[in-house]
Structure 1
């Protein structure tokens, strides 16, 4: 829904929003008409669960109180099909968050489901002490997608476990202890990875993750430096800069801050550096082009290894490349992966070089009972096949770029949309009180917009240090028609919100 701009009235954008003056030429729809949901050729089964109130009671009494839920009335989900989810009453939602960036090829993708069902009838589990053809065939497929010399795989069950293993590898190979990660990074919630994770809400109040140091996140929107040419993205920040071609002053400043960390808070020699190619939990934060390449070089000069955390960015989600690190023109020493790897099935992996792998096994006798079972091989292979056969990496690039540009129009129209960023189908919309201050939109207002979008049929994620960013990472099978619907829903929710704000109803 594109509303007519009133530049002829020479009203500022802020004044326009405060007045609540929105108008779509030729439209007979009321201001509050919800966008029409695209069709879906799937009919869910009838849900036959315990009553909703009883489910809530179990949740309150028996679940960890740390596991929070979205929305005032949490969704009780029943079934999923590709990019769609259905609740216990049969209502349909466009899933724009994929179970925290985990459903890569689609909920219950027919190819993956068929492969899993077939294997379930044959053999579920053996243990890594035995051979099974499916696991070995999968390793061959997966390593073919990774550059030399990243060819040795250690299977795990979650992203946290994979990053735990990568920390051990880095320390055993380098014979150093200090590991650096970026502020705003999320690398897991295990006793080791708590030290790498630098989002306050996830930091424990007990000793954990020793010898981990955080350095400044090169956030070109919220950080001290940034401009209009920094990102590898179709959409840049609204900040201005006077950088010449091939020169990024913001990047130079952030690299200097990284050097300061190396000179002050870690030992002369370090174990390694962890980085997500794009930060996920922190709200899809992108670094200046060239930052990771320079940071990797500085780390290696100190004897450390470089680890790319591909738990959220891997498997074609960024569109231009299969792995996020490739978009930075870098070659890590260790790569960790999970989430989209199994399309929701609990599996992860650490991939490294033969040199690092051999050094590690001489010092650590590591074993994981469930890692690399037959189901891992079958499901992992089916996911890779679906990505290739359905053209999902290409769709991530085309449809993701389309969505980014559509969302950028919302930023141009609404003063509370501070930043739109991302690559492929990993997108963040950072909400602010106003674009000039860039102060986070209050939690209460974020919740209202979030709820309104849900009521109109889209499920958004949340992220950022202040939960001020809507995270969009749908199954990679999403279509442009569904993107149009999602953008219309966001436009409607933002319009309603600005009307309430102008009338003092928030």
Structure 2
């Protein structure tokens, strides 16, 4: 039997679902398998054939409209006109690599670094979050002289050789690096500790000690500050502070993977790490940065980056090209001009409150938690014992798809609905989402 990945296979189309598809979908899935091979996955038992997007909405080939509650790639909304125009204009002028002078990369770097703590004063560019995290690990190792990286138990940080080795969410078929150590997620819902910050810092120190016992020098702690793959774990604010102190006291650095919580998504801060009052040594970002145009970044303290950059030249052919910089600049401008961080805070709080009302109606809703437009909706078989209900979560995802709401699951048990819409999500969309969830749980007799 094939090994399953926790992030790729929990909500996915498989061969046994093919018999239930209509002729057109069956033709597409068969052709996809033939041409693209076995590694790719599709969402849903009945895959969605999308042809158009606008804002927070998507349309399929039959003209049916869907509410997107999962997508942070199109972070400011599908097909945002400002990004389309910026890319179109720059494509007409020039697109080349970073070994020629060009103002776009400098202007964007100034604007992006202005959103960071003052100590973070250098920027480098790639095309994907995987590339950014890969480089961050290399920098951490150059700076610390060590090789050991600590991540959370269900972390996902990329698909390159280095990043897949620190991404346990890819499943047991993808071995972790011998220098990787895992800490249990800082899950306030499930961890019975008087102080979550102290507990988590202890977990970090325990793994550093284990590395030392095995002759591995500690290099750094790599984390997504909302622990999205671990089930969306935002609170309490500030709980990361003690852990980062432990990291620094042991000669390592903190790499904040902001691919998911960054760019205003949490509402309470522009960057997810800022909710915790910490200053990372390196920040990485990707998907939401270009609203669908491939661009990613690594931002760092100059003294940390120097250990790598003073010795090793770095070049990425497409990283930082003028078209990608135009897209990224347009995204940043829209976030500021449309006040999307504040929008995320206000609308996210209203959505969270409405979702929590379902806890009074359905015993299977164990916990609802989030920050801004990033919410985890946890389903359990037994609320008192907090028994995860993965089967129910997957059935709810399918029911939501039938109600034209698109999302997926997260967490080590695959029982947390990961509600992360484009920032274009509006207050009037709350009724659609909460109503669809209500109907889905009712239809499943829960």
Q: Provide TM-score, normalisation by structure 1.
A: 0.80
> Of the candidates 159, 162, 183, which is equivalent to residue 132 of structure 2?
162
| Post-superposition offset of 1:288 | 4.0
Separation of aligned partners in 2, 1:209 and 1:158 = 21
Q: Which residue of 2 aligns with 1:66?
A: 39
Separation of aligned partners in 2, 1:403 and 1:469 = 16
Separation of aligned partners in 1, 2:235 and 2:348 = 19
Q: Does 1:446 align with 2:372?
A: no
What CA deviation, in whole Å up to 9, does each residue of 1:342-378 have, x standing for no partner? 1121111110011122221233232111100011110
| Post-superposition offset of 1:384 | 0.6
- Aligned pairs for 1:314-353 within 5 A: 314-353=262-301
Divergent runs of 4+, >6 A: none
Q: Which residue of 1 aligns with 2:315?
A: 367
Separation of aligned partners in 2, 1:106 and 1:425 = 13
Q: Which residue of 2 aligns with 1:37?
A: none
**SS of the counterpart of 1:153?**
strand
| Cα RMSD, aligned residues only | 1.8
Separation of aligned partners in 1, 2:199 and 2:99 = 50
Q: Does 1:254 align with 2:200?
A: yes
Q: Which residue of 1 aligns with 2:179?
A: 211
Separation of aligned partners in 1, 2:24 and 2:78 = 24
| Post-superposition offset of 1:251 | 3.4
| Contact persistence 2:158–2:164 (CA under 8 A) | yes
Larger mean Cα displacement after TM superposition, 125-134 or 106-115: 125-134
**SS of the counterpart of 1:185?**
coil
**SS of the counterpart of 2:156?**
coil
Separation of aligned partners in 2, 1:345 and 1:461 = 23
**SS of the counterpart of 2:150?**
strand
> Of the candidates 75, 83, 88, which is equivalent to residue 104 of structure 1?
75
Larger mean Cα displacement after TM superposition, 463-472 or 76-85: 463-472
Q: Does 1:284 align with 2:232?
A: yes
Separation of aligned partners in 2, 1:454 and 1:332 = 38
Distance 1:280-1:64 versus aligned 2 partners, 3 A rule = farther
Separation of aligned partners in 1, 2:399 and 2:361 = 19
Separation of aligned partners in 1, 2:195 and 2:329 = 44
**SS of the counterpart of 1:403?**
helix
Separation of aligned partners in 2, 1:284 and 1:205 = 23
Larger mean Cα displacement after TM superposition, 321-330 or 64-73: 64-73
Q: Does 1:265 align with 2:211?
A: yes
Distance 1:375-1:203 versus aligned 2 partners, 3 A rule = farther
What CA deviation, in whole Å up to 9, does each residue of 1:8-67 have, x standing for no partner? xxxxxxxxxxxxxxxxxxxxxxxxxxxxxxxxxxxxxxxxxx954432222121223222
| Post-superposition offset of 1:287 | 4.9
In terms of Rg, which structure is larger? Answer: 1
**SS of the counterpart of 2:382?**
coil
Q: Provide TM-score, normalisation by structure 2.
A: 0.90
Q: Which residue of 1 aligns with 2:96?
A: 126
Q: Which residue of 2 aligns with 1:493?
A: 440
Q: Does 1:84 align with 2:66?
A: no
What CA deviation, in whole Å up to 9, does each residue of 1:97-149 have, x standing for no partner? 11xx22211000111111112222222x3111112222221111111111112
> Of the candidates 259, 268, 278, which is equivalent to residue 311 of structure 1?
259
> Of the candidates 115, 126, 129, which is equivalent to residue 86 of structure 2?
115
What CA deviation, in whole Å up to 9, does each residue of 1:181-239 have, x standing for no partner? 1212211122111222122x434445x5341111222211133x25xxxxxxxxxxxxx
**SS of the counterpart of 1:128?**
coil
Separation of aligned partners in 2, 1:205 and 1:58 = 26
| Post-superposition offset of 1:258 | 2.6
Q: Which residue of 2 aligns with 1:472?
A: 419
Separation of aligned partners in 1, 2:201 and 2:280 = 18
Q: Which residue of 2 aligns with 1:135?
A: 105
| Contact persistence 2:145–2:217 (CA under 8 A) | no
Q: Which residue of 2 aligns with 1:429?
A: 377
Separation of aligned partners in 2, 1:450 and 1:118 = 40
Separation of aligned partners in 2, 1:139 and 1:249 = 38
Separation of aligned partners in 1, 2:277 and 2:119 = 15
Distance 1:76-1:392 versus aligned 2 partners, 3 A rule = same
- Aligned pairs for 1:18-97 within 5 A: 51-97=24-70
**SS of the counterpart of 2:200?**
helix
In the alignment, structure 1 segments of 5+ residues that lack a partner are: 1-49, 227-247, 502-506
In the alignment, structure 2 segments of 5+ residues that lack a partner are: 1-22
How many aligned positions are there? 422
